[in-house]
Amino acid sequence: AIALVGCLSLAVELQAGAGGPGPAALVAFVRDKLSFLVTARPTAVNMARAARDLADTAAREAEREGATEEAVRERYEDFEPAPLTTGPPCLSTLPRGFLVGGVSTGTRPYNQGARLTAFELVYEQIPATLIADSMAAAAMAHRGVSAVVVGADRVVANGDTANKVGTYQLAIAAKHHGIPFYVAAPSSSCDLRLQTGQEIVIEERPGQELTDVNGIRIAAPGIGVWNPAFDVTPHDLITGGIITELGVFAPKELQAALTTTISSGGGTLGGPQL
């Protein structure tokens, strides 16, 4: 969704007449704008992959004999990206009653868990309890948690994963309590070009997300702020496996499984370059 909306924003600009004049100048404009979009989401790989595909599509159209600026615009606006696969278990595919109940963390400071995950659980009619991030370890100890499933914005070759900040500490707590820890991610979030999680660029967000609520300052004036949007979970903490649309793999098995798929079906899961 982030990739599609990001690229759609440029389509709106193009439709309004931005870029050019001429096909070559328009392609350069497209690449420049898409590169800027990617810098806004450096940790997630999907945005960069969609941007690369769109830039290449515009360039190929500009290279056609008799190409026009208008044709390049239309080709960008009409481009249909490759289907984005979703990694099971999607909640709607689970047998009714499979999940007795769920626990959703609030996900401070931006509260995605309270706004989005909680919505999905309610929509799927799965009994669930919302807790603060700092309550996760206590929930594992006292609320009968049997598994932890998180998402991922990027999975690298050795199985290290980057996800919303707080994921790393969930993995540590799950390991301590002997609870299997799973990462659910589509293969489009896998980046085999990077070997370890240390190579992943971590996005940092404005400090006001921590210091302010609805524009009102709640933190002490003068306090420093560190607000990374993601953290990296080492592969050895992913004890349950990495769940993709291709199957569930131990981190050490993932690269071989994805490489085999790429070899048989074409395509690439390397890091995109504009």
Whole-number Å distance between alpha carbons of 59 and 30:
9
Q: Is 153 a catalytic residue?
A: yes
Among left, alpha and beta (phi > 0; psi -120 to 50; other), residue 201 is beta
**Beta strand extents in 68-158 (DSSP E only):** 102-105, 128-131, 148-150, 154-156
Whole-number Å distance between alpha carbons of 49 and 52:
5
Q: Exactly one of 32, 56, 133, 153 is catalytic; which is it?
A: 153
Cα separation of the two ends of the chain? 20
Whole-number Å distance between alpha carbons of 99 and 103:
11
Token output for 60: 């190929």
Q: Are 92 and 125 in contact (CB under 8 A)?
A: no
Whole-number Å distance between alpha carbons of 23 and 177:
59
Q: Residue 118: what residue type?
A: A
**Beta strand extents in 133-217 (DSSP E only):** 148-150, 154-156, 161-164, 181-184, 190-191, 212-213, 216-217
Q: Are 35 and 51 in contact (CB under 8 A)?
A: yes
Question: What's the full length of the chain, in residues?
Answer: 274
Catalytic residue list:
153
